[in-house]
Amino acid sequence: MAMLHIVNKSPFEKTSFGSCLNHAKAGDSILMIEDASVGAIKNSSFSNQLTSALTDKKVYVLGGDLAARGIDKSRMIDGIEVVDYAGFVDLTVNNETTQSWL
């Protein structure tokens, strides 16, 4: 049963993103929105954890939230897919359950 994990807090300010990664199972999807989008930046103190998650999970980031924070796609960790709001809706529909990490 695939689950969509939605994270909205920066991994540099809160522990919820790390908790999400510890609980997410193989085949799950993780969507970074709002301040969590900064977690997509490569070569950060958090990037190794997220890169490890990419081995068996799908990781997405909301493009509008990247743009709002001035993060260019070239600065992102390879393997993270950028989605728009329609993609966000598709992810919620295509996963059996959703867990928000606050």
pLDDT at 1 > cutoff 80: no
Q: Report the alpha-carbon distance of residue 95 to residue 52 in Å, rounded.
A: 21
Over residues 21-54, the pLDDT tens digits come to 999 999 999 999 999 999 999 999 999 999 999 9
The residue segments making up the domain with residue 48 are 3-101
Q: Quote the pLDDT of residue 52.
A: 95
Please report, for the domain that includes residue 12, its CATH number.
3.40.1260.10
Question: With bands split at pLDDT 50, 70 and 90, how would you rate the model's confidence at 102?
Answer: confident
Q: Quote the pLDDT of residue 93.
A: 95
Mean pLDDT value of segment 53-77: 96
Phi, psi of 4 (to 5 degrees): -100, 120
Burial 53-80 (b: 16+ CB within 10 A, else e): beeebbbbbbbbbbeeeebeeeebbeeb
Per the structure, how many domains does the chain have? 1
